Chain A
């Protein structure tokens, strides 16, 4: 037994393997973070985000656990003892932020949804239809699944007859002097305004001249608001108006100004009054063609951007030459340096901005104005909530509503990362970010009354909708071909189905909307009817509804024999199809592979 040279290494190996195996086995044991990677389906209502870098509204804290219960934050801390069955999100490598609060928006259409889909869980509206206010209060007090941000609003704004704010077509009751101020403020309070917004705008900064409220009226409004226990914030766009508003006791200014930089002395005196400023750099920089929102848009997945967001971002204010965007930034820098509270706000969806999306641009602009990451984020969370006395929001702390934004990476290091959102929770429920899924069914135009008939007498131009096109499996990587011609007043479809795609097809598609795959409402119609003849093989009609790409279209077969024959297919034969949403009908050859030819005529939906 010559084991001297073998036994020792073998025993040592066995020992090493055992030790490594022991630790490896320990490493496989379940840990809280294993429950779910953040990219997996987000838990709702009651869950925990563990081992995350937390911005609690004021400061960054590393390796924190956040326990959400019934839509509110139950506990925050390092290594919390969490119930075993509590769903967990692994927060490592991520930053958790309070839902953002946009300090200056205007609400209409789908803006509350747009805001929420970009992590803005509450908006501070500075002028909207006062009819929205009652509903907004109910909605925001309800801790439940929602697709919209919470709305806090000034409601109607206070302006002079013909002054700024009257040009939008919203109901405005202008003030002509200080005597009506008290009654006006009481009326707003009764409507549900959360604070009073006053316009001090003579157009000077825009090289124009428009009527504006008198100093006395502004003073009276501020006094009346305070008497009613409401904050009074003032729209300004020049330094003079800003000084005046602050001197009259305004609680906040909801724009910065760009006609002139304020002196450091002015900044200090502003700071002493405790006034806050919502600079709305997004809209102001947009005036100068410098839209950070567009930059955010470039980084954002297209499926997340609504048509309205895209449109408002691409809109432009007409801006005369002269003022300098740097002045606006410098004002913010000086205000911040002097200790004036800065609240992040975008003034979306004004031209050059998009609700929600522009908030991420605003954060970058505030950083450009010299604010640290935690100051920028506080401006968009806790400072905004405190300035406008918005309760239970703007922080991640015990008892606060679980409005949370989970972002990839370390936001303290790089504030531009806020846009790289993994999950948004509103009231503890994950927010669906894709526009397609959240959009309430888009406006679907109704089909004209009576049957829609295509007789091909005028060639391929069907006379209805976008018309007829070739469709083949080439879009799925297949090799089938088709060709459309009109001969003797009938559509002739010739082609060949070839191997290439798993389920080859080729034929003709009739787009019923003005654009390809745009749906048309055929409610009340029940039958697809057409005449056909052909080579005797079997063909298929496919019916495409909205969002066609996502679902398998329902199909009904038909045979094209040598003689012209009428085919009638009840629409209800198309399983899962909804007559109120029909985007296209395709007439195609499928298996068996080979060349085919058939004709269609007098295609009608009745």
Chain B
């Protein structure tokens, strides 16, 4: 491959990511909830109520959990539901007739989830630091942002699985049904330790729970389970989600039923 070809291919990735980002950024129905809701929730529960309701540690604890919450949104909605919508509208099919590498499309979506996640994380960090006086070691700030943003991968995989099996309108509804209860039951809104024991046990099956525990480990506020356990569960679940997604796409393609709105003709 010549450098010119490489440069051209690189340009596809860059442009795909750029327009993917611009596309969702200009969509208020997506951008505002994903960017502002976690921040507002954190501001309200973590900063305003935090000091009173739970303990002085609340703003710090919730800094981690609401950051996880903030990364889930763009991954599940932007990636999963967004993909379902573009598949249903036929854009995906059209792009697949062009020489566009499929990886460029997927990476652009992951990159978009990263970018939005990073913006949310930064917003929450700044709010926590300047609004609630959260102080962490520098390595903790960096490590926490890294761990939280790494959550894009399992959540994108989950979003992909949901998107592969549902029509666009259903995808948003199903994603909401996955997103909000999982956030709640994983202890992202209020500490998991305040739940009944049965719910705490149940949380062990939720990827958001394991991801939040990893984030809390950075600030030494996790439940004490092994890092390896959380990483392993997330890895296994991510792979499972990808397999489910692949099966879903294959089914859709072989039937060509839900590939496009026109049905078969």
Partner of B141 from the list A4, A14, A26 (CB cut-off 8 Å) is: A26
Return chain B residues, CB-CB under 8 Å to A168.
none
Of all chain A residues, the one with the shortest Cβ separation from B118 is A22
B236 within 8 A of A: no
Known: A18-B115, A26-B122. A32 touches B15 (CB 8 A): no
Known: A11-B18, A26-B141. A84 touches B126 (CB 8 A): no
A61 within 8 A of B: no
**15 cross-chain CB contacts under 8 A:** A7-B18, A8-B15, A15-B14, A18-B115, A25-B125, A26-B125, A26-B142, A29-B129, A31-B136, A32-B135, A32-B136, A79-B137, A83-B56, A84-B133, A84-B135
Whether B133 lies near A31 (C-beta < 8 A) is: no
Residues of B36-62 contacting chain A, CB below 8 A: 56, 60
Closest beta carbon of chain A to B152's beta carbon, Å: 14
How many angstroms between the C-alpha atoms of A4 and B122 in the bound complex? 33
Return chain A residues, CB-CB under 8 Å to B145.
22, 26
Chain B interfacial positions (CB closer than 8 Å to A): 7, 10-11, 14-15, 17-18, 56, 60, 115, 118, 122, 125-126, 129, 133-138, 141-142, 145, 220
Return chain B residues, CB-CB under 8 Å to A12.
14
List 9 additional contacts besides A25-B122, A85-B133; criterion CB under 8 Å: A8-B7, A8-B10, A11-B15, A18-B118, A26-B125, A29-B141, A30-B129, A31-B135, A34-B135
Closest beta carbon of chain A to B227's beta carbon, Å: 16
How many angstroms between the C-alpha atoms of A589 and B122 in the bound complex? 63
Tell me what chain B mostly uses at the interface: helix, strand, loop, or mixed.
helix
How many angstroms between the C-alpha atoms of A83 and B56 in the bound complex? 8
Partner of A29 from the list B17, B115, B136 (CB cut-off 8 Å) is: B136
How many angstroms between the C-alpha atoms of A137 and B14 in the bound complex? 76
Known: A8-B11, A29-B141, A32-B135. A84 touches B115 (CB 8 A): no
Whether A84 lies near B137 (C-beta < 8 A) is: no
Residues of A1-55 contacting chain B, CB below 8 A: 4, 7-8, 11-12, 14-15, 18, 22-23, 25-27, 29-32, 34-35
How many angstroms between the C-alpha atoms of A371 and B122 in the bound complex? 51
Tell me what chain A mostly uses at the interface: helix, strand, loop, or mixed.
helix
Return chain B residues, CB-CB under 8 Å to A14.
18
Return chain A residues, CB-CB under 8 Å to B14.
7-8, 11-12, 15
Return chain A residues, CB-CB under 8 Å to B142.
23, 26
How many angstroms between the C-alpha atoms of A18 and B141 in the bound complex? 17
Chain A interfacial positions (CB closer than 8 Å to B): 4, 7-8, 11-12, 14-15, 18, 22-23, 25-27, 29-32, 34-35, 79, 81, 83-85
Known: A11-B15, A18-B115, A25-B122. A32 touches B137 (CB 8 A): yes
Closest beta carbon of chain A to B150's beta carbon, Å: 15
Of all chain A residues, the one with the shortest Cβ separation from B137 is A31
Of all chain B residues, the one with the shortest Cβ separation from A22 is B118
Return chain B residues, CB-CB under 8 Å to A83.
56
Return chain B residues, CB-CB under 8 Å to A29.
125-126, 129, 136, 138, 141
Closest beta carbon of chain A to B143's beta carbon, Å: 10
How many angstroms between the C-alpha atoms of A29 and B131 in the bound complex? 12
How many angstroms between the C-alpha atoms of A12 and B7 in the bound complex? 12
How many angstroms between the C-alpha atoms of A84 and B129 in the bound complex? 11
Of all chain A residues, the one with the shortest Cβ separation from B136 is A31
The 5 closest A-B pairs by CB, nearest first: A11-B18, A31-B138, A29-B129, A29-B141, A11-B14
Of all chain A residues, the one with the shortest Cβ separation from B56 is A84
Of all chain B residues, the one with the shortest Cβ separation from A27 is B138
Of all chain B residues, the one with the shortest Cβ separation from A65 is B137
Whether A7 lies near B15 (C-beta < 8 A) is: yes
Of all chain A residues, the one with the shortest Cβ separation from B135 is A30
How many angstroms between the C-alpha atoms of A1 and B141 in the bound complex? 43
How many angstroms between the C-alpha atoms of A577 and B10 in the bound complex? 80
Most buried by A among B7, B129, B135: B135
Closest beta carbon of chain A to B19's beta carbon, Å: 10
How many angstroms between the C-alpha atoms of A362 and B11 in the bound complex? 70
Of all chain A residues, the one with the shortest Cβ separation from B123 is A25
